[in-house]
Structure 1
């Protein structure tokens, strides 16, 4: 594909075409165009940030705190609720499988977010809501409680 150059007059306003010519007359147009692009870009990024914001659905770790990744065997469970009921839709369609849930635990030991990483989609909501009911001992770094990221594996098997 070949690009053709367009005459500069195509980008000039009628006042600039009729008024003073020369290179200096392009500066206001260039500054205006650049300003328009910058404002448009800022508005788009602002809208994207508002649309993608997770602040209303999950707490973010405090500034300066770390998220410590731990294997589930290294996390101290304080409370594990009884197993949830098998989801009726999955039971009716004979769906079984293993669901892996990533869990973010806040410094108080309470899960703040559960996200399904793998497994049958029909079993994901039950796994996530069940993971959110667990309670853990806080992860301490130099005596300061930290956010913790871990993975829990939930096997779902229908009785024969």
Structure 2
């Protein structure tokens, strides 16, 4: 999968990028360019094993892994599970579950203000919603937010359902169905 996308630079200029299936080059960018800064700044996702996530996406049909790149540099990564998760609402409808979503350190407002690019995380989140529509799940998407990223999901109008004791107390967020 390859789709042209538009993001905003930190100065507000429109930048064209690519949303695509994750590949080895994206892992290399994470390990050689992102990870040092993530560790130095003690980010919660500093030790995520994207190589494992890509391996799962390559081997199991229920996993999908995506990247956003601009000028051949990885700007964001996302790993989805598409078959086994259900809504935490009483209806228990199927949904796309965001296992992991990360943007490059230079695109995080807490680390770089203004960020190099704006909209990377939102674009990935919207792609998860699009995948949900494509799979017949009516746009339902769920995830557990890392501490410090809850505000991002609130700003993106995901409903908040509180801490989940089964997921180390992480706050659960969900997009419910899109009505036509």
> When you count strand as a share of all residues, which structure comes out higher?
2
The TM-score, its normalising length taken from structure 1, stands at: 0.21
Between the two structures, name the one with larger relative contact order (CA 8 Å, sep ≥ 6).
Answer: 1
